[in-house]
Structure 1
């Protein structure tokens, strides 16, 4: 009879041990695939941040196998962030612009005139993060720049595929501009801003609005380590930083495909470059090419990669990756030259570094004024870690302060 009392305890011990072993196995496997170059900002802290992300991923996989919830749902929960305490310097309002949830941050201090405003689109690979996860960034920009910030809670992939996120950001921006007098904002002083996937969305929205005669012209766009193309995942930065946290080369392709199709079935072909027809690759070579990357960014090593044999069936599945809305780097010059003054932040140890460098060149070639700030010791996602409990990164704060300076100087 005593056996029946002790059996649940034995089963619990076995389950707990199995769970821990599974998590440890995943951590060991993931750790073997990453590398931190000597120049990375605070490598010890970065290892701790990476470990927390790997543990979250491992637990998500296990919970998904158990049928508790999906890995994506668990990861979203862990990365969603928490609402901060009220800030006496800011007024916060959660509302909707049409069907799109937004959070509006307004400085409480009186203003001598109409304020500037920034539409902010959060990063997270189009799959993760939220208004709450980027709360500290938005508060900091609103307070230090003394402008109104609108953080947009766009729909996430894979449940909501392209163009859902883009349409939400575009519609929220248009709604704000058409109701701008309610917020005491100068219609000629509206900025679009975003980090990572949010930088992609900001660039796409900026391009769409560039030709709108019925709306005021955007004052500026701020692109923080943006992902801007999915033609070539073999640019120098993709190889130099392929295993550098917080964004690995494979994950960059994974996120793009999840955003586009809601799955990543052709990730390997996209990484190899077999998803692009030879004539299209030739057409876009003038814009997406290692030849347009300054030589100083190749000194850490780079060997040109030839794309694999073209696979027409893969192209048919992913051909919308070649449209300018998901890949703003591919927009025609007629659009690019209409874009507003721009700020681009890149990080040396980031697979997306060269996307930013290529877009910088395109903008400058078309007469657009660009302020470029490069974090020599930075990595992807570092701005979000500017104030991260005991794991804050000074370079993230440095980058954020440069963004604030750019806004103030407009």
Structure 2
């Protein structure tokens, strides 16, 4: 409860519920303090949050004006006087928490009641409260939470707390009841303040829901792949389905240029994910070995903690593309073709050869066809027309150009 500033609280004693402000223990100039809303005559208690707000806005002198966080508290909106769920302290009902098992809810509620009861006793000088807590050490463990009461002796100690409370709690209540001093305020002003508080509470709830929705949306937009070993290393597994088989390899980008797992223009490919990981653990003669994050992946592989995860953006399928090209432009999945051509270009760029450019220069109608299919604006008015055999042959040649770069691993 320490360092929480000033809290609005609702407290239940014999005469019912009342509202006030509580400043749990704080340190100032080397000394420890605690306080409730009060004046020279004692505690200031109110029948409703609206009455409490009316009193505070009347600028009547009270003890909490000297609190180091009073300025921040008084600058908050009207709902600053409304306790939250944990701001309700059922002192008179404390024995009820002990009538059941030491669940998290029961132990937490009892701990909060004990905390504010101690504070009320110390601030008001209620001797019975001080004596009760000083003479029953079993009460001190309640602050440890419900986990303390798990185990062989947990229920026995919880019962010990119950016996202490049942035998003495009425004395505590009797000592605190006289400290409740209800302050009367102007009813008309309180009524207006009630409406202001309701508006502030509604606005705060709307803001809370909006924030939750925003956080939920942001959480949905966060790609879990980014938190994976691959995402953190900036090196991506890629999956390629081509020529009736599926292979795996790795690719990254260094200063915008692609780098594949391979060497001298040969892309090292693997028939399954596990063989890729096993190979990583014992081979370092490849273009990725000098990357700063490569050792991190190898270390995880050696520790058995590296699982190959392929992001959707790194899946390339050439299945059925040639057959669709033969049927005409309307049958072709241009997204699939675009991704496939992207991989052709990346592989050629990494290998630092002119094979792709040379092929397209030698086959200008194939270059026009790809430009047309991928939406390029500079196609010189070209429109594909049947038969499409040359286009099929050209695309098949590009696929073969890629697969010739694959290793035989």
TM-score in terms of structure 1 length: 0.22
Higher-Rg structure is: 2
Which gives a bigger RCO, structure 1 or 2 (Cα 8 Å, sep 6+)?
Answer: 1
